[in-house]
Structure 1
Amino acid sequence: MTTTWLDMLLFGYYPYLCLTVLLLGSLLRFDRDQYTWKSDSSQLLRQGSLRWGSNLFHIGVLGIFFGHLGGLLTPLEVWHTLGLSLANKQLIAIYGGGTCGVLGLTGALLLAQRRLGDARILKNSSPMDIVILLLLAAQLALGLLTIPVSLQHMSGGEMIKLVEWAQHIATFRGGAADYLADVSILFKLHLFLGLTIALLFPFSRLVHIWSGFGALTYLVRPYQMVRARRLNLPAGHNLP
């Protein structure tokens, strides 16, 4: 199938716009509005389903994020070296991603019901809080809807197209959109919505994710050296 101008726009150029805004926007927000660099908690307003919803959502989303990151950007030669066939890789993606997707979507729905169903929490929510939560829930639902499509292509052919697209985008190679010309519309919607969430990232509470990654640096930081300071006091002066 021939690549259309819309495919080229959405999957050839749009990804670079989204990634540029994500990185530069996050940097500018950190530089100018550090007091907003956080995820405002509504726990004091009502605990309710917060713990279940938040835990399920974060476990699911983090599992999907790292699964997509490794699955899409790891060269195929690495999987072959490890003795993992494309069919087995696809099974891992389906069952692993499906499990994380169900957990994440369940958590997102609990959080959405809590935020939209409580007048006090809704009043203290920004429009972007609601938009991002609903977009993430829709993205998780779209990801689950792609599973039946993947089950019809267990040879790994559709997965290869997505991997090639992601790796061409990541390495700034041309022709990335060509790999998506004939993939299912569900995959295209899933990719487009994911890129749009990346575009909105710096303008939402999602920026607190950077703080989570930054906290990992504490694991490898050098020990602090604390030295005693000698005070030059006048003769006969005693410290209190």
Structure 2
Amino acid sequence: MNNFFFGIYPYIALSVMIFGSIARYERDPFTWKSSSSQLLRRKQLVLGSILFHVGVLTILVGHVAGLLTPVWIIDALGIGHAFKQVVAMTVGGIAGVMALIGGGMLFHRRWTDPRIRKTSSVADIGILGLLLLQLLLGVSTIFASARHLDGHEMLKFMHWAQGILTFRPDAAAQIADVALIFKLHIVCGLTIFLLFPFTRLVHMLSVPVRYFWRPGYQIVRSRRTTPLPSHSDAEIARAKVASAKAAPAGPRAPSLAE
């Protein structure tokens, strides 16, 4: 089971996430959205959304940098493994609590408001609940990590993640003896990757980079001090008739006699 969940399942989840997202964007581009419910109820949305998104983005950046940075680079920079783990626990713990509070507010809002719940799909509520479970598991790993402050356990996860990306057959063995809470956290995260293309999470990939090179717009305030003169309906009608007569005549349509 260890080899399946940590040696095979990661490739299944990542493959479905990548190719499923491409297929959805090509086949149903109009479903590629976050489906905001702000118009139905603004209360709890702003604060909850800010806490949730800032927390989750901080955790994602931390996980990517912490797991995928080669060990030799960390050693070359003179960063101790124990120090790196304490920083990860501190920053990750704060971001995790922020995301939990914000996600809890969003889940309560979506679950208890009749109008929002009516417009929410099973996937909307389910993926938010799964994200909250993942955050709870992640915060819980801090207590297990506190028993290994030398950074040795953290190295196991780095070797596992980098082994998965480099297709090493022994990657699953790197974390065979870690605590169960870490394994549950990894499996839940991989399941979120698996479900990613079928939920609103796809909006995370819609980074508006095109705004950097699109032509800009300039709004110019009029310096006119007096309002434009008003015109009656008759004057407007006469102007339209005169404009139509002045327009060049196009090709004449053939008559029935022709």
Q: TM-score, normalised by structure 1?
A: 0.88
Q: Which amino acid aligns with 1:30?
A: Y
In structure 1, the partner of 2:172 is 177
Query: What's the RMSD between the two structures over aligned residues?
Result: 1.5
Relative to 1, partners in 2 of residues 1:159 and 1:31: Cα closer, same or farther, differing over 3 Å?
Answer: same
Deviations 1:161-203 (A, max 9, x none): 1110000001111111101110000000000000000000000
2:209 counterpart of 1:216: yes
In structure 2, the partner of 1:155 is 150
Relative to 1, partners in 2 of residues 1:140 and 1:82: Cα closer, same or farther, differing over 3 Å?
Answer: same
2:31 counterpart of 1:36: yes
In structure 2, the partner of 1:67 is 62
Q: Could you tell me which of 109, 112, 129 is aligned with 2:107?
A: 112
Bigger Rg over Cα: 2
Q: CA deviation at 1:22?
A: 0.2
- Equivalent residues in 2 for 1:1-240 (5 A)? 6-212=1-207, 215-216=208-209, 218-219=211-212, 221=213
Deviations 1:217-238 (A, max 9, x none): 544x4879xxxxxxxxxxxx99
Relative to 1, partners in 2 of residues 1:124 and 1:169: Cα closer, same or farther, differing over 3 Å?
Answer: same
Mind listing any 5+ residue stretches in structure 2 that lack a counterpart? 217-246, 249-258
Instruction: Provide runs of 4+ in structure 1 moved above 6 Å.
Output: none
Q: CA deviation at 1:83?
A: 1.3
Q: TM-score, normalised by structure 2?
A: 0.82
Q: For residues 217 and 99 of structure 1, what CA distance do their matches in structure 2 show?
A: 33
Q: For residues 92 and 223 of structure 1, what CA distance do their matches in structure 2 show?
A: 42
Q: For residues 151 and 211 of structure 2, what CA distance do their matches in structure 1 show?
A: 40
Q: For residues 86 and 39 of structure 2, what CA distance do their matches in structure 1 show?
A: 42
The 3-state SS of whatever aligns with 1:155 is coil
Q: Which amino acid aligns with 2:205?
A: W
Q: For residues 141 and 24 of structure 2, what CA distance do their matches in structure 1 show?
A: 34
Mind listing any 5+ residue stretches in structure 1 that lack a counterpart? 1-5, 225-236
Q: Which amino acid aligns with 2:68?
A: L
Q: CA deviation at 1:82?
A: 1.4
In structure 2, the partner of 1:230 is none
Q: For residues 99 and 82 of structure 1, what CA distance do their matches in structure 2 show?
A: 25
Q: For residues 99 and 30 of structure 2, what CA distance do their matches in structure 1 show?
A: 28
Q: What is the aligned residue count?
A: 218
